[in-house]
Amino acid sequence: MSVISLRRPLKAAFLIVTLLVITIQILEWNKFVLDSQCGCRWIKVDKGQTKSLCGDSATHRGQGQRVLSYSLYGKVGHENGYFKGIQINLDLMRQFYPQDFIMRIYHDGKSTEDLCEIFCSSPDVDLCNANEIGIGAQFGMLWRFAPMADPTVDEWHCRDLDSMPSSREVAAVDDWRHNSTANYHLMRDNPYHRASIVGCCFGMRQNNKNRETNYKIFHKMLEENHEVWRKGEDQRLLDVHLWPVAKRDMVCHDSYLCDIYANDGNRPFPTKRISSDDFKTGPVYNFVGSNGGAISLTSHNECPEKCRPENHLDWKLC
């Protein structure tokens, strides 16, 4: 056997060994594992990744995320209205929001099996187990505020599962996003939205200017909550801790209470409210944050002229 003929298999063996070493190193530094909650999504685990305050699936997405955030707690099944709201909100998020938006569901692990059905078939959904990230004992409506303290999130909006995204909502979000530099966005779209910040109707940009502040605000709300589960507790804490910061750096679209919550950041909604021709009845879900009710002249009267667009003072239901 010649020297040349011996070199060829040795060279091939050397290349194979080299490739194996490189492959092992890649797997060592960039491991792929199945997600910990549902075991159906391959997750890249990188030692240098910034960890999300949601879970490994969200961490896998990296930084710069845009999120719609929801809370779901208690044992709920497919027939539960809040659970049904997941798929409805997901479909409408896909219809109205940009394609890079992710739905996050902060939950307590009691409905994981049902949630995994959605997670495993929806690449734009992340499940965040509140117990695993250390906030499960706090009031469930606060969980959805967790993106405030998440270094992987650059923009997020807080919503309810029993309301639905709409073209009116997204037109307001787009107006804030494209026609202002304000970091916080609020919406009041009903005479009964008498809160400085309505829990289902606010969002924010997160950047070097406010990221640390938002982190501190979120943890102050958790500390003050003292594990109290009480309706309205989320909005009380928003008023105490977030409102003093947001009111100096916000756009608020307000259709009825713009004079009561007077602020230089207040604006009319950019779209006219959908209603019937005679303005006496309104279709279901015709205001942002609606869980089935509707705004109409019969029930709510005209919106104040101060809350109407200057070029549309004729909009009785603005």
Same domain, 58 and 101: yes
Same domain, 83 and 214: no
Q: Which of 144, 162, 180 is the last residue of a domain?
A: 162
Provide the pLDDT for residue 10: 54
Q: Which of 116, 133, 162 is the last residue of a domain?
A: 162
Is position 113 within any domain? yes
Question: How do strand 202-205 and strand 184-188 relate by DSSP bridges?
Answer: antiparallel
Same domain, 198 and 156: no
Same domain, 117 and 181: no
pLDDT in tens, 9-32: 555 555 665 565 555 555 455 578
Is position 47 within any domain? yes
Is position 209 within any domain? yes
Same domain, 212 and 312: yes
Same domain, 49 and 182: no
Same domain, 109 and 194: no
Same domain, 186 and 150: no
Q: Which of 125, 141, 162 is the last residue of a domain?
A: 162
pLDDT in tens, 232-261: 999 999 999 999 999 999 999 999 999 999
pTM, rounded to two decimals:
0.88
Domain encompassing residue 66: 34-162
Same domain, 257 and 318: yes
Same domain, 77 and 126: yes
Same domain, 243 and 193: yes
Same domain, 233 and 264: yes
pLDDT under 70: residue ranges of the chain: 1-30, 277-283
Provide the pLDDT for residue 262: 94
Number of domains in the chain: 2
CA dist 222 and 136 (Å) reads 11
